[in-house]
Amino acid sequence: MKHAALAIPALAAILAAVLAGCATLVPPPDDIRLTRRSETADDWSRHLPDLYRGLSACLAADPAQPAYALSVVPQNHGMMLVYVMGHDGGRKSCNIDVAAQQKPQLVPATPLDDQALRGPRYTPAGMPEPFLRCARNEPVLTGRGRLLGWLTYLQEDCSEASLPRQQWRAFGDQPYWAVTVARDGILFDRAGEVPLHYAARAGDPAGETLTWTLDAQGSGQNRLELTITHTPCRDPVAAQTYDYRAEAVFRGQTYKGCAIRGAQ
């Protein structure tokens, strides 16, 4: 019995350490960085650092994982409402305090809830970056550049002239990565890293394959090789098949995934 009595405090200490480690996974408000567009937005997204903990708790509480937020509504007395879309397509409204000290309360969303949707969607970094034809993604990062997710702002003007001049989009998971090839430049994005920008250029064709060999600063340190091949590619996370397969090589590491052509 003496050994059992000694084991209880030790077990409690281990459990407290584990819980403390889990708490550090959610950054404090002053460690969340928004883009200038998000900081000056006339909607809930400019308050995301203060709402992030409650938002994350609501998304994690949805049984249909992974889940993302259709919108967030700050409320009085430190409360907030999150409209959640689960992986099964089911919509729920989640009531929680901004500090996430209470248990999230999820109930099925009603048609009236859809009328309250305002501002961007939020997709956590554990999901693929969303691709919407009439939308623009703004990354949400920690102070050290770790990717937390994306705020997706829908465009009211969906004319061809207003669409991004995106030519190719390559992406993959485990770990997350993406390369955007546009007319005005090429962007290489990785989870937890600051995005790298490369000068715009066309890919070198060879049969059913296009290849880009890029260097951000000309020193070779940030050399990126991107290959896109016209062959079917299955994305297991999004449960979707694309027409192109992609592979990126950066600093000796190979990133594999799929690709789409043009703005989606």
In-domain check, residue 14:
no
pLDDT digit string, tens, across residues 159-201: 545 445 558 989 887 777 889 898 778 989 887 677 888 988 8
In this predicted structure, which of 124-128, 145-149, 237-241 has the lowest mean pLDDT? 237-241
Same domain, residue pair 33 and 136 = yes
- Look up the domain containing 170 and give its range: 164-261
Domain boundary among 153, 181, 196: 153
Same domain, residue pair 133 and 40 = yes
Distance (Å, rounded) from C-alpha 68 to C-alpha 84?
Answer: 6
Same domain, residue pair 49 and 122 = yes
Same domain, residue pair 33 and 137 = yes
In-domain check, residue 70:
yes
Torsion of CA 45, 51, 56, 59, to 10 degrees: -60
Same domain, residue pair 174 and 111 = no
Per-residue pLDDT band at 121 (split at 50, 70, 90): very high
In-domain check, residue 208:
yes
Same domain, residue pair 168 and 128 = no
Report yes or no: 149 and 143 within 8 Å, Cβ to Cβ: no
